[in-house]
Amino acid sequence: MLSFQLQHSQASRQAAKAAALGFARTISSSSSLTRAPITLRAGCAASQQHRLFSSTPTHQLRDFFPVKETPHIQTTKPAWPHEGYTYDEMLAVEPAHRPPRTVGDYTAWKIVRFARYCMDKATGMDRDQKSDKTKPTTAIEAEKPLTEAQWLIRFIFLESVAGVPGMVGGMLRHLGSLRRMKRDNGWIETLLEESYNERMHLLTFMKMCEPGWFMKMMIIGAQGVFFNSLFVSYLISPKIVHRFVGYLEEEAVHTYTRCIKEIEDGNLPKWSDPKFQIPDIAIQVSTYQHSYNQIFNIDTSLVLEDAKRAPYDEGLDPLHQG
């Protein structure tokens, strides 16, 4: 009986080897005609499996979301396209800061500042950064410049978190409109558009950097905590949440203006290179002049958008919440 089982297992192994050998021969014989596509598909599959839990920081331009060739999926225009800004308009941005006045304002401001401190510690940004006294949200000098890889990790984490509040607010107001059987008068579309805008920022930076497994786990944890915290907070006091988002946008302006300053000072040689091209998704979402297709254009555009949205979000809280 034992000898029969051994013979049966050996026969199964030989059959498996023969099947694998036959499959390999089939691939090798057919690869002479379609060798490039097979290599490309295999490489994409291997890279996707490697990217899921990769501890190797491969900070380089790559197509993290490869386009799938299928007749049922067509490229369409962005749902909420951004207006194109000229180079002079982007440089003329003057970020503003709304000083806290009420207890809710101070609460939102301190929470944002604490989150900023934690993020600075996690991404290696020094605390001795200097700011313009008249514009507290604008960084003008730093003793320890970050590298391109550190900036991309910071941008990706920032945008992955910044896209949560708009979705939470839009979802809750959508459900409230259904319960009360009343129109929302544009709040839902406004908040969802803001969430969509932040997601487009994230997809832009994802074309330039691939985070490792630790970064992905941090994003998953932060999203879970942030979403549920905002969900409960928005049910209690939507006004404080909108003020919180406004201060969060101010901190985003602070981050991007510091990056712009380091690009101008030549501390980021890769991004300072005029030949460096920004991802196509950034050009599709926002209209850029082709002569300025650089990372500097992305940062200045984000400063303009966040600087415009900061007082806008802060201005939502005094409005009637009904």
Annotated binding site for Fe cation: 159, 198, 201, 249
Which residue, among 162, 234, 262, 249, has the nearest Cα to 205 in the 3D structure? 162
Rounded CA separation 247/316 (Å)? 13
Do residues 309 and 249 touch, judged by C-beta distance below 8 A?
Answer: yes
Helices within 181-212 (DSSP H only)? 187-206
CB–CB of 208/150 below 8 Å?
no
| DSSP at 291 | G
Inter-residue contact 184 to 177 (CB < 8 Å): yes
**DSSP one-letter code for 230:** H
Angle 295-296-299 (CA atoms, 0-180°, nearest 5)? 90
CA distance 84 to 16: 59
Longest CA–CA span in the chain (Å) reads: 89
Asked if residues 302 and 252 have their Cβ atoms less than 8 Å apart, the reply is yes
The whole-angstrom separation of Cα 116 and Cα 162 is 13
Structure tokens at 304: 């303009």
Q: What is the C-alpha R_g of the chain? A: 25
Which residues are annotated as part of the binding site?
159, 198, 201, 249
| Distance from C-alpha of 214 to C-alpha of 25, rounded to nearest angstrom | 40
- In sequence order, the β-bridge partners of residue 132 are 135
